[in-house]
Amino acid sequence: MALRVIRSFDCSTRYRYKLLQNNMFMRKLLSDNEYRFAVVSPDLTMVLRSDASDISKAELEDPTTQIITIEVQ
């Protein structure tokens, strides 16, 4: 399962984060904040984190979650 998160910027919505699985759109989050990492659960729930220090120990140790570096588009 190849997951990617891409960040784009829009004047009306600020930052747009798109979760792609095998290059197919799965989910989108909009935010006023800029994030560097996405923590993705097996059900494709996505939580955004600003910095590596914001990722909890439980998230790091959970073998079912994936931590993805957000790509800038």
Amino acid occupying residue 4: R
Average pLDDT value for residue range 67-72: 97
Domain extents for the chain? Answer: 3-72
* DSSP 8-state class, residue 70: P
pLDDT at position 11: 78
pLDDT at position 37: 98
Which structure tokens are listed for 39?
């923590």
List the end-to-end C-alpha distance of the chain, in Å, as a whole number: 21
pLDDT tens per residue, range 56-69: 999 999 999 999 99
Output the pTM of the full model. 0.89
pLDDT tens per residue, range 7-53: 998 777 689 999 999 999 999 999 999 999 999 999 999 999 999 99
Which structure tokens are listed for 56?
């909890």
